[in-house]
Structure 1
Amino acid sequence: MDTRPALSGYAFADTPLDRADKLRDDVAALLGLWPQARILIVDDEGRAHADETGQAMVVTGTQLGGGPGAAIFLGLREAQAWFAVRADVVSFEAPQRIDLRRAAATWPAFEAGVFALARALLHWHAGTRHCGTCGGAVEFRRAGYQGACTQCGREHYPRVDPAVIVAVSDGERLLLGRQSGWPARRWSVVAGFVEPGESLEQTVAREVYEETRVRVRASRYLGAQPWPFPGALMLGFEADAEPDEPQVDGELEAARWFGVDEIGEALRREAAGDDGEGVLLSSPISIARSLIEHWYMQRGALA
């Protein structure tokens, strides 16, 4: 029996919001829900309105006035509706505006997940002004979840880009890489987008080999994280690989194997407050970090 712990602890993956698909076409029902609805306001830079403490400043439909209009219906939490609206279409100010990464680290999980959904959909709206087939103007329907070309009639839907992210091990060590644009000392697991005609397992093997020249023997799916920067779905894997010497060819600045002691030291140092020395691991809000911790826990259990 496989008793390995499930991945946990990363942001955006546990949002108990009922998407309530059937309500998206029910204008009367949405209008009735509007006065008591909770509404998240997001600006063109993807920042949400927040209060003096940095927590979500969520307003009601009564406070905003009017009706749903161009607001996006996100779903229901119990009987209360949640919407998202662009900051430039409402007359409402906030003490501050914060980005999604900060919200993921400081807001309750539910509000951070709602923000992630709102940001992803609003980003899609912003990038879908014209039809990719004929160039006609796109108008949004179904409470913001469907675009329709006013010229050729083509339907458009929110885009989600699948990507694999993988903890690669040779049985004793963990493979990590770093990109040149990352903060100094930061290392993380290998990741890459799925290409047409590939299975996820094929993507794992290809991406790991392309970025590090390490050969994957087998891989196993562990969990997923929506990653709305702006619209990826990170599919987490662990993989067994040959103990090849990592080589990089430009996608990564560096890649190397890390032992259990090195990973443990990095985790302990961060828990105690980073001292400015040694390796920095992926952000705690990411599935990348959960994959690293999962590998470390497994090695600790087997030691």
Structure 2
Amino acid sequence: MTSAFPIAFAGSPIDRADNLRADPDALAGLMNWKARVLKLDGLIPSLDDRNRLEWGTLADVSEDAELVFLGLDRSDGGERACFAAVPDRGDASPRMANPQLWALMATLEPGDLATYGGARSLVDWHARHRFCAQCGQGTKATKGGWQRNCESCSTQHFPRTDPVTIMLVEHEGRLMLGRGKGWPEGAFSALAGFVEPGETIEEAVQREVFEESGIRARDVQYVASQPWPFPSQLMIGCHSYTDSDELTIDYTEMAEVIFFTREEVVSSLDGDGPFRAPPRHAIASNLMRWWLEKTK
């Protein structure tokens, strides 16, 4: 694919400058008066009066703050290093964004949303991984915050990204969508699930679809992907077909699974249909819009 619709949390204008991460002298040289530090209240971004991400300077953070190097900003013709400070604690419920954050995300322009998403995932990982999974002793950030080393057993730890498949299933011109257990009444989205060890993307799609709906998916096609910073997932968007619409729903995970017509998907995305569609910054919305273009 790819989606003709912008993918939220993708496309940060900041150059990650990976070549500088392993050079402590170069990183130290970037920590000057020009350096910018992303302003966060815990993990919530601060916005200026233009609804842009607010940046401070190194003078705005304490001397003992743990900083991660986000990369280089060259947007104004110069070159400024960008950092973010690790909060005291990570997100207690990292798979969900709170209502305040949903509202803020709806106002951010795409480049800022992508920059925030990457920074959030990284600093949240640091805040929740201060101790070694191997021996339980303390770890210390290195390589500009893109690695943590155990000070006791020398185990190296790296920021994790969990692959998740999220998929459309089509049957005779209708789209299968689901409402997860505990979701608001009327809210439907594409089925999704984590890729398990030893699985291909295609196998994960087929397994998750069958587990949640009893449907056998075939002809799995990759469509698009999205970094999702709650806490740090790569959403792998796919499309598939099925030869049957006979459902066997797993009610421990799903409240409802329904096949919707093209017209119902169109009206729901427009806000006037039989179900509440996913927000635009969720890849499920991109997948539905892609499908509508595909089936014109």
For this structure pair, what is the TM-score category when the shorter chain's length is used for normalisation? Answer: 0.7 to 0.9
Output one character per residue of 1:227-248: Cα deviation in whole Å (capped at 9) or x when no partner. Answer: 0100111001111112222221
Of the three residues 4, 8, 18, the one matched with 2:5 is 8
What residue number does 1:74 align with?
70
Cα contact 1:177–1:187 (8 A) shared by 2: yes
What residue number does 1:29 align with?
26
What residue number does 2:280 align with?
284
Deviation, structure 1 residue 183: 2.4
Q: Structure 1 regions of 5+ residues with no counterpart?
A: 90-96
Give, in whole Å, the separation in 2 of the partners of 1:297 and 1:211. 27
Give, in whole Å, the separation in 2 of the partners of 1:213 and 1:7. 31
Cα contact 2:163–2:195 (8 A) shared by 1: yes
Cα contact 1:49–1:98 (8 A) shared by 2: no
What residue number does 1:248 align with?
249
Deviation, structure 1 residue 54: 4.8
Secondary structure at the residue paired with 1:283? coil
Q: 1:65–1:105: structure 2 CA closer, same or farther, 3 Å change rule?
A: closer
Normalised by the length of structure 2, the TM-score is 0.87
Q: State the one-letter code of the partner of 2:38.
A: L
What's the C-alpha RMSD, in Å, of the aligned pairs? 2.4
Give, in whole Å, the separation in 2 of the partners of 1:171 and 1:5. 23
Give, in whole Å, the separation in 2 of the partners of 1:88 and 1:49. 17
Give, in whole Å, the separation in 2 of the partners of 1:179 and 1:48. 28
Cα contact 1:212–1:248 (8 A) shared by 2: yes
Listed as ranges, the matches of 1:122-161 within 5 Å are 122-161=123-162
Q: State the one-letter code of the partner of 2:84.
A: A
What residue number does 1:93 align with?
none
Cα contact 1:50–1:56 (8 A) shared by 2: yes
Q: 1:10–1:182: structure 2 CA closer, same or farther, 3 Å change rule?
A: farther
Output one character per residue of 1:39-77: Cα deviation in whole Å (capped at 9) or x when no partner. Answer: 112243x2122335654221133x427879621101112
Give, in whole Å, the separation in 2 of the partners of 1:200 and 1:168. 15
Give, in whole Å, the separation in 1 of the partners of 2:153 and 2:146. 19
Output one character per residue of 1:95-121: Cα deviation in whole Å (capped at 9) or x when no partner. Answer: xx9955334321111111111111101
Of the three residues 35, 38, 41, the one matched with 2:39 is 41
Secondary structure at the residue paired with 1:205? helix
| 1:258 pairs with 2:260 | yes
Sequence identity of aligned pairs in percent? 36
Q: 1:99–1:155: structure 2 CA closer, same or farther, 3 Å change rule?
A: farther
Give, in whole Å, the separation in 2 of the partners of 1:12 and 1:288. 14
Moved more, 243-252 or 183-192: 243-252
| 1:50 pairs with 2:52 | no
Give, in whole Å, the separation in 2 of the partners of 1:247 and 1:278. 22
Give, in whole Å, the separation in 1 of the partners of 2:218 and 2:51. 46
Output one character per residue of 1:219-272: Cα deviation in whole Å (capped at 9) or x when no partner. Answer: 11011100010011100111111222222112111101000111111123x2xx
What residue number does 1:230 align with?
231
Give, in whole Å, the separation in 2 of the partners of 1:5 and 1:86. 34
Give, in whole Å, the separation in 2 of the partners of 1:127 and 1:67. 21
Give, in whole Å, the separation in 1 of the partners of 2:16 and 2:64. 16
What residue number does 1:163 align with?
164
Q: Structure 2 regions of 5+ residues with no counterpart?
A: 90-97
Moved over 6 A (4+): 65-68
Give, in whole Å, the separation in 2 of the partners of 1:72 and 1:33. 12
Normalised by the length of structure 1, the TM-score is 0.85
Deviation, structure 1 residue 190: 0.7
Secondary structure at the residue paired with 1:50? coil
What residue number does 1:121 align with?
122
| 1:184 pairs with 2:214 | no
Moved more, 104-113 or 147-156: 104-113
